[in-house]
């Protein structure tokens, strides 16, 4: 159901690759709520994925940019403002990638060049987007910026690897820049900590199916899917969340407040004997 919550707002959405992408669902929901949208991703992702299908559906413009490259970001933000005929009201940073995860390098055997790339792509790119927008004065008063995070920033989850460090940095950038943007420009900056979600990036995490099942069992409301995340984004982009800033909002069905659930305990009991030597 649409409520016209973003009517007249102009948004820049990073990270829609295919229909599984969380950013894809956010773009669809933002469009339904009346927003005018620019989509961005790397040139390769635009070629490999089906972003043009989404753009057609949402009447959106696609502008390629590598979010780690400040020159490309400057060009993107300037073009987006020109297209909108003014400032941007909301931005979604839905970008993450770890070469260590992709190449199967475990946390006790990280490749440090890969780690730099993980941090640059998954976290520092958020600072680069915010700083570029700051210098171009690109975000409107009352605007809202969201980056997508995961609870591995606070707690250790087997297999999440250096992405845990990347998410901790991402959340810190949201707070540090959130202070400056709030004070000087009346702009909100938050992160959403999302349940494990079946996407291209999500599927790359070691033991992802088990993690998905475990989270679902532990969460009283069950895992939040990409559409649930999109709805939370719409709420945070809208004027209904005017005073929410510098927060990490858990969109996780209650997982982050749980210790053990009945549903998870049932599985654990069954496998106790088998798992007695597990580390």
Ligand X SMILES: NC(=O)c1ccc[n+]([C@@H]2O[C@H](COP(=O)([O-])OP(=O)(O)OC[C@H]3O[C@@H](n4cnc5c(N)ncnc54)[C@H](O)[C@@H]3O)[C@@H](O)[C@H]2O)c1
- Contact footprint for ligand X (CB under 6 A): 14-15, 17, 20-23, 41-42, 45, 66-68, 94-97, 121, 148-150, 194, 196-197, 199-202
- Shortest reach from residue 223's CB to ligand X, in Å: 9
Q: What are phi and psi of 210, to 5 degrees?
A: -65, -40
Tell me whether residue 215 or residue 245 sits nearer to ligand X (CB atom).
215
Q: Compute the least distance from the CB of residue 183 to ligand X, in Å.
A: 26
Report the residue number, 203 or 220, with the smaller CB distance to ligand X.
203
Supply the minimum distance, in Å, between the C-beta of residue 48 and ligand X: 8
Backbone angles phi, psi at 113, to 5 degrees: -65, -40
Among all residues, whose Cβ is closest to ligand X?
A: 202
Between residues 199 and 232, which has the closer beta carbon with respect to ligand X? 199
Residue 143 beta carbon to ligand X: minimum distance, rounded to whole angstroms? 20
Question: Residue 136 CB, nearest distance to ligand X (Å)?
Answer: 18
Nearer to ligand X, 171 or 243 (CB): 171
C-alpha span between 122 and 41 (Å, rounded): 13
> Looking at beta carbons only, is 209 or 239 nearer to ligand X?
209
Least distance from C-beta 147 to ligand X, angstroms?
A: 7
Residue closer to ligand X by CB (options 86, 203) is 203
């Amino acid at each position: 159901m649409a409520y016209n919550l973003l009517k007249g707002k102009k948004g820049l959405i990073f990270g829609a690759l295919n229909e599984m992408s969380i950013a894809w669902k956010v773009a669809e929901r933002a469009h339904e709520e009346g927003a005018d949208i620019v989509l961005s991703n790397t040139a390769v992702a635009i070629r490999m994925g089906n972003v043009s299908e989404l753009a057609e559906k949402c009447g959106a413009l696609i502008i390629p940019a590598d979010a780690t490259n400040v020159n490309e970001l400057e060009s993107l933000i300037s073009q987006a403002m020109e297209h909108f005929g003014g400032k941007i009201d909301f931005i979604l940073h839905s970008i993450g990638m770890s070469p260590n995860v992709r190449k199967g390098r475990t946390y006790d055997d990280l490749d440090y060049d890969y780690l730099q790339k993980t941090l640059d792509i998954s976290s520092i790119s958020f600072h680069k987007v915010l700083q570029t927008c700051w210098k171009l004065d690109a975000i409107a008063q009352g605007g809202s910026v969201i980056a997508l995070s995961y609870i591995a920033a606070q707690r250790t989850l087997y297999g999440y690897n250096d992405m845990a460090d990347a998410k901790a940095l991402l959340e810190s950038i949201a707070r540090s820049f959130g202070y400056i943007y709030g004070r000087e420009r009346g702009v909100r900056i938050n992160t959403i900590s999302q349940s494990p979600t079946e996407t291209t990036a999500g599927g790359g995490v070691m033991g992802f199916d088990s993690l998905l099942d475990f989270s679902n069992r532990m969460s009283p409301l069950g895992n939040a899917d990409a559409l649930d995340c999109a709805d939370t984004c719409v709420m945070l982009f809208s004027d209904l969340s005017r005073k929410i800033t510098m927060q990490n909002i858990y969109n996780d069905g209650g997982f982050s407040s749980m210790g053990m659930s009945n549903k998870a305990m049932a599985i654990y009991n069954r496998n106790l004997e088998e798992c007695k030597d597990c580390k």
